[in-house]
Amino acid sequence: MKITVIGAGGVGGYFGARLAAAGCDVTFVARGAHLQAMQQQGLQVNSPLGALYLPQVKAVDSVAKAADATLFIVAVKLWDTAGVAAQLQPVVSGDVGVLSLQNSVQKDDILREYLPAANVMGGVSYIAASIASPGVIHHGGSLQKLAFGEYDGHISPRAEKFRDACQQAGIEHELSDDITRLIWEKFVFLVGLSGNTSLFRTTIGPIRNDAEKRRLLLQTMEEVVAVARAKGIKLRDNFAEKLLAFTDTLPANMPSSMKTDLERGHRLELPWLSGAVVDMGRALGIATAANSRIVTELTPFVNGN
């Protein structure tokens, strides 16, 4: 496959590097010092699953310079989605796929404002990865999985080709006929993790081990489940409780990317996470007290330093 990865941070850099190492024709769209390092020194991935070094990678500074892809993977921060979609608009046609791995249930709605719905695929990434330094990606833990599929549930040739590419690259993957549900399932967990680790400025361990904080974590996720079900998403019974039990299996020092951004003084994805839950809850008449607290206390930091 000819793949353009837009955003070469932790998610895009890791999965793009694995695909390139397996023989896929991958071009990265990046910027700043990270782009310069990739162009001059290649891309390094440090991972418990094995280090990977690509001494030469294709890396450019705009979508227009990598416009001939058969699959575009979108892995930028959520506030950049509309800008990326506008750049994709003149180059996406035919059966070209656009697969967002971003952390939101609204990401593909934004893409569809600019692109034909038939070109937008649903996707979810499961990984803890970040840029350690320009040209270097750090992968924490052994989890590295992609789930993807067409929104209408049919198994398309382009999805099958990407499945084959993931298999060749050693990426754990799931070709789903119900990708909307998987996106919402991750969203429930992510809103809980990002909101509470950022609110309390700590990792998941101290939150799950403190009775009051644990209750707030559960309530945060229960509110997302209530919103999802009101929107017709069929989540499993006791889904929030099962996710809470899942957090007990995670490394105690696991943070969230939003907590890391908060500590570094970077812009936060809060409006697309807990903020989105509050907005959707208000429109649906669903109380979202826990997420509202998170939004209220973190809003002063939402634009970074």
- Which pLDDT belongs to residue 251? 86
Read off the pLDDT of residues 90-136 as tens digits, 9 standing for 90 and up: 999 999 999 999 999 999 999 999 999 999 999 999 998 999 999 99
Read off the pLDDT of residues 14-45 as tens digits, 9 standing for 90 and up: 999 999 999 999 999 999 999 999 999 999 99
Tokens of 184: 């919402």
Read off the pLDDT of residues 205-229 as tens digits, 9 standing for 90 and up: 999 999 999 999 999 999 999 999 9
Rounded to whole angstroms, how far apart are CA atoms 257 and 129? 9
Tokens of 278: 């509050």
Read off the pLDDT of residues 246-276 as tens digits, 9 standing for 90 and up: 999 988 988 898 999 999 999 999 999 999 9
- Which pLDDT belongs to residue 254? 86
| Bridging pattern class, strands 120-133 and 97-100 | parallel
What is the value of pTM for the model shown?
A: 0.93
* Rounded mean pLDDT, 38-57: 96
Residue 235 is classified by DSSP as P
Rounded to whole angstroms, how far apart are CA atoms 248 and 208? 7
- Which pLDDT belongs to residue 305? 84
Q: Give the gyration radius of the chain's Cα atoms.
A: 19
Domains and CATH numbers, the chain: 2-177 (3.40.50.720), 181-301 (1.10.1040.10)
* Rounded mean pLDDT, 62-75: 96
Main-chain phi, psi angles of 299, to 5 degrees = -55, -35
